[in-house]
Amino acid sequence: MATRVRPSNKRCAVIGGSGFLGRHLVEKLLDRGYSVSVFDIRQSYELSGVTFHQGDLCDKQALLPAMKDVSLVFHCASPAPASDDRGLFERVNIQGTRTVIQACIEAGVQKLVLTSSASVVFEGTDIKNGREDLPYAKKPIDYYTETKIEQEKLVLEACDKEKGFLTVAIRPHGIFGPRDPQLVPILVDTARRGKMKFIIGDGTNLVDFTFVENVVYGHILAAERLRSDSPICGKPYHITNDEPVRFWDFMSEVLVGLGYAAPRYHLPYTLVYGLALLLWLLALILRPLVSFKPTFTPMRVALAGTHHYYSCDRAKQDLGYKPVVSLKDGIARTVQSYPHLRQGA
Ligand X SMILES: CC(C)CCC[C@@H](C)[C@H]1CC[C@H]2C3=C(CC[C@]12C)[C@@]1(C)CCC(=O)C[C@@H]1CC3
Beta carbon of residue 97, minimum distance to ligand NDP (angstroms, whole number): 10
Three-class secondary structure of residue 181 per DSSP: coil
Residue 182 binds ligand X (CB under 6 A): yes
Residue 39: strand pairing partners: 15, 53
Q: Is residue 273 flagged as an active site residue?
A: no
Residue 117 binds ligand NDP (CB under 6 A): yes
Rg (CA), the chain: 20
Cα–Cα distances (Å) from 272 to 119, 141, 292, in that order, read: 21, 16, 18
Strand order in the sheet with 8-15: 50-54, 35-40, 8-15, 70-75, 111-115, 166-172, 236-239
Residue 57 binds ligand X (CB under 6 A): no
Which range in 5-13, 66-74, 96-104, 296-304 contacts ligand X by CB under 6 A? 296-304
Applying CB under 6 A, which of residues 7, 172, 201, 263 lies at the interface with ligand NDP?
Answer: 172
- Closest among 85, 137, 93 to 115, alpha carbons compared: 93
Catalytic residue (one of 45, 136, 143, 144): 144
Site string for ligand NDP, 215-254 (x = CB under 6 A): ----------------------------------------
- Which of 172/244 has CB closer to ligand NDP? 172
Residue 187 binds ligand X (CB under 6 A): yes
CB atoms within 10 A of CB 256: 13
Beta carbon of residue 173, minimum distance to ligand NDP (angstroms, whole number): 6
Helix (H) or strand (E) holding 191: helix 183-192
Backbone φ and ψ of 2, nearest 5° = -70, 130
- Which of 95/230 has CB closer to ligand NDP? 95
Binding site for ligand NDP (CB under 6 A): 16, 18-22, 40-42, 56-58, 76-80, 92, 96, 115, 117, 148, 172-175, 181
